[in-house]
Copies of this chain bind each other. A is one copy, B any other.
Amino acid sequence: MPGNKTTHTVQWGDCDPLGIVFYPNFYRWMDEGSWALFNGRGLTLEAMEQRFGSLGAPLVETGCAFKSPARPRDVLTIESEAVEWSKRSFRMAHTFTCEDRLVAEGFEVRVWVLDAPDHPAGIRSGNIPQEVKDLLS
């Protein structure tokens, strides 16, 4: 199953004094793209917790290459896909286009975490259930 598509119309408040998107917003939209994929496949945060005892999939690494500027009213299409799986983490790829123009290409490496009240961070990584991989692939 291919990735999930979301759209975002670039807003006035997304842009900086040069009139182009302030770049951290691209990461906000990647996170939204990931959640749209998770939720769309039935993996809401509640389902993650109730069915798999997971607290979600926070980030261990992210990155983005910015290919062309986006401005207010540009309609961005964000294609979000789980492209690589390891035991405890997975990689999401996000591609931003505005019509035929490539705007940005980013990725997120997310780790599957479980509740760990005794751990200093309160969470610890765990093995990703096969069912989760199947749902997101």
Q: Is the interface of A mostly helix, strand, loop or mixed?
A: mixed
Between A11, A24, A44, A64, the greatest number of chain B beta carbons within 10 A of the residue's beta carbon is seen for A24
**Contact in complex: A28, B16 (CB < 8 Å):** no
Contact of A58 among B20, B63, B73, B122 (CB under 8 A): B20
A51-69, CB < 8 A from B: 55-56, 58-66, 68-69
**Contact in complex: A59, B121 (CB < 8 Å):** no
A98 at the interface (CB under 8 A from B): no
**Contact in complex: A19, B17 (CB < 8 Å):** yes
A85 at the interface (CB under 8 A from B): no
Residues of B within 8 A of A69 (CB): 58, 121-123
Binary interface encoding of chain A residues 13-38 relative to chain B, with 1 for a CB under 8 A from any of its CBs, else 0: 10111111011110110011001000
